[in-house]
Protein backbone atom coordinates (compact mmCIF):
# COMPACT_ATOMS: atom_id res chain seq x y z
CA UNK A 1 0.00 0.00 0.00
CA UNK A 2 2.86 2.39 0.79
CA UNK A 3 4.45 1.96 -2.66
CA UNK A 4 1.16 2.57 -4.43
CA UNK A 5 0.48 5.73 -2.43
CA UNK A 6 4.01 6.92 -3.10
CA UNK A 7 3.72 6.25 -6.83
CA UNK A 8 0.39 8.08 -7.08
CA UNK A 9 1.86 11.06 -5.23
CA UNK A 10 4.87 11.14 -7.58
CA UNK A 11 2.67 10.81 -10.67
CA UNK A 12 0.30 13.56 -9.64
CA UNK A 13 3.11 15.93 -8.64
CA UNK A 14 5.01 15.34 -11.89
CA UNK A 15 2.30 15.17 -14.51
CA UNK A 16 -0.19 17.65 -13.11
CA UNK A 17 2.77 19.97 -12.62
CA UNK A 18 3.56 19.91 -16.34
CA UNK A 19 -0.07 20.02 -17.46
CA UNK A 20 -0.23 16.41 -18.65
CA UNK A 21 -2.53 14.62 -16.19
CA UNK A 22 -3.42 11.90 -18.70
CA UNK A 23 -0.02 10.31 -18.09
CA UNK A 24 -0.57 10.19 -14.33
CA UNK A 25 -3.91 8.59 -15.10
CA UNK A 26 -2.21 5.99 -17.30
CA UNK A 27 0.06 4.96 -14.43
CA UNK A 28 -2.74 4.75 -11.89
CA UNK A 29 -5.20 2.93 -14.15
CA UNK A 30 -2.67 0.43 -15.50
CA UNK A 31 -1.79 -0.51 -11.94
CA UNK A 32 -5.28 -0.54 -10.47
CA UNK A 33 -7.22 -2.10 -13.35
CA UNK A 34 -4.43 -4.16 -14.89
CA UNK A 35 -2.94 -5.58 -11.72
CA UNK A 36 -6.31 -5.94 -10.02
CA UNK A 37 -7.85 -7.87 -12.88
CA UNK A 38 -4.67 -9.91 -13.38
CA UNK A 39 -5.01 -11.15 -9.81
CA UNK A 40 -8.70 -11.97 -10.26
CA UNK A 41 -8.18 -13.74 -13.57
CA UNK A 42 -5.13 -15.60 -12.26
CA UNK A 43 -6.99 -16.82 -9.17
CA UNK A 44 -10.16 -17.77 -11.04
CA UNK A 45 -8.88 -19.15 -14.33
CA UNK A 46 -5.12 -19.43 -13.87
CA UNK A 47 -3.86 -22.90 -14.72
CA UNK A 48 -0.35 -22.19 -15.97
CA UNK A 49 1.83 -21.02 -13.08
CA UNK A 50 5.27 -19.53 -13.31
CA UNK A 51 7.59 -18.30 -10.58
CA UNK A 52 10.06 -15.45 -10.46
CA UNK A 53 12.09 -14.49 -7.39
CA UNK A 54 9.64 -16.18 -5.06
CA UNK A 55 6.53 -14.66 -6.65
CA UNK A 56 3.95 -16.95 -8.21
CA UNK A 57 2.07 -15.69 -11.24
CA UNK A 58 -0.10 -17.29 -13.90
CA UNK A 59 0.12 -16.86 -17.64
CA UNK A 60 -3.62 -16.17 -17.68
CA UNK A 61 -3.24 -13.37 -15.14
CA UNK A 62 -0.31 -11.89 -17.03
CA UNK A 63 -2.31 -12.01 -20.26
CA UNK A 64 -5.14 -10.16 -18.50
CA UNK A 65 -2.61 -7.55 -17.30
CA UNK A 66 -1.34 -7.11 -20.86
CA UNK A 67 -4.78 -6.76 -22.43
CA UNK A 68 -6.27 -4.49 -19.77
CA UNK A 69 -3.15 -2.29 -19.70
CA UNK A 70 -3.29 -1.91 -23.47
CA UNK A 71 -7.02 -1.14 -23.60
CA UNK A 72 -6.95 1.25 -20.64
CA UNK A 73 -3.99 3.17 -22.05
CA UNK A 74 -5.70 3.39 -25.45
CA UNK A 75 -8.87 4.71 -23.84
CA UNK A 76 -7.03 7.36 -21.83
CA UNK A 77 -5.00 8.56 -24.82
CA UNK A 78 -8.04 8.65 -27.12
CA UNK A 79 -9.97 10.74 -24.57
CA UNK A 80 -7.04 13.07 -23.87
CA UNK A 81 -5.44 13.35 -27.30
CA UNK A 82 -7.95 12.26 -29.93
CA UNK A 83 -7.73 9.17 -32.11
CA UNK A 84 -4.49 8.92 -34.06
CA UNK A 85 -2.33 5.97 -35.06
CA UNK A 86 -0.04 6.72 -32.10
CA UNK A 87 -2.93 6.38 -29.63
CA UNK A 88 -3.18 2.76 -30.73
CA UNK A 89 0.56 2.08 -31.02
CA UNK A 90 1.99 3.75 -27.91
CA UNK A 91 -0.09 1.59 -25.53
CA UNK A 92 1.48 -1.62 -26.82
CA UNK A 93 5.01 -1.14 -25.39
CA UNK A 94 3.45 0.43 -22.30
CA UNK A 95 1.36 -2.71 -21.73
CA UNK A 96 4.29 -5.04 -22.38
CA UNK A 97 6.59 -3.19 -19.96
CA UNK A 98 3.85 -3.01 -17.31
CA UNK A 99 3.19 -6.74 -17.63
CA UNK A 100 6.87 -7.66 -17.37
CA UNK A 101 7.40 -5.36 -14.39
CA UNK A 102 4.31 -6.75 -12.64
CA UNK A 103 5.70 -10.24 -13.11
CA UNK A 104 9.28 -9.59 -11.98
CA UNK A 105 8.97 -6.90 -9.29
CA UNK A 106 9.60 -8.49 -5.90
CA UNK A 107 7.53 -8.08 -2.74
CA UNK A 108 4.89 -5.57 -3.74
CA UNK A 109 7.32 -3.22 -5.47
CA UNK A 110 5.18 -3.57 -8.60
CA UNK A 111 2.98 -0.94 -6.97
CA UNK A 112 5.87 1.45 -7.52
CA UNK A 113 7.52 0.17 -10.69
CA UNK A 114 4.41 -0.44 -12.81
CA UNK A 115 2.70 2.96 -12.45
CA UNK A 116 5.90 5.00 -12.68
CA UNK A 117 7.28 3.09 -15.65
CA UNK A 118 3.93 2.99 -17.47
CA UNK A 119 3.35 6.70 -17.13
CA UNK A 120 6.95 7.62 -17.93
CA UNK A 121 7.12 5.40 -21.00
CA UNK A 122 3.76 6.60 -22.28
CA UNK A 123 4.83 10.22 -21.83
CA UNK A 124 8.20 9.66 -23.50
CA UNK A 125 6.70 7.86 -26.47
CA UNK A 126 4.03 10.56 -26.83
CA UNK A 127 6.76 13.20 -27.07
CA UNK A 128 8.39 11.47 -30.02
CA UNK A 129 5.21 10.27 -31.79
Backbone conformation region of residue 112, classed left if phi is above 0, alpha if psi is from -120 to 50, else beta:
alpha
10-residue mean pLDDT series, the chain (129 residues): 93 96 97 94 95 88 97 96 91 98 91 97 95
Question: What pLDDT is recorded for position 52?
Answer: 83
Question: What pLDDT is recorded for position 53?
Answer: 80
Q: What is the pTM of this model?
A: 0.94
Question: What pLDDT is recorded for position 78?
Answer: 95
In this structure, the number of other CB atoms found within 10 A of the CB of residue 119 comes to 29
Interacting residues of 124 by C-beta distance below 8 A, sequence separation 6+? none
Question: What pLDDT is recorded for position 74?
Answer: 97
Burial pattern 15-51, b for ≥16 Cβ within 10 A else e, equals beeeebebbbbbbbbbbbbbbebbbebbeeebeeeee
Question: What pLDDT is recorded for position 1?
Answer: 78
Amino acid sequence: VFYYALSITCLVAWFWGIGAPQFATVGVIVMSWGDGLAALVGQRWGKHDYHFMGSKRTLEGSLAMLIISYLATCLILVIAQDMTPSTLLIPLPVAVVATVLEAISPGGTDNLTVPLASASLCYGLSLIA
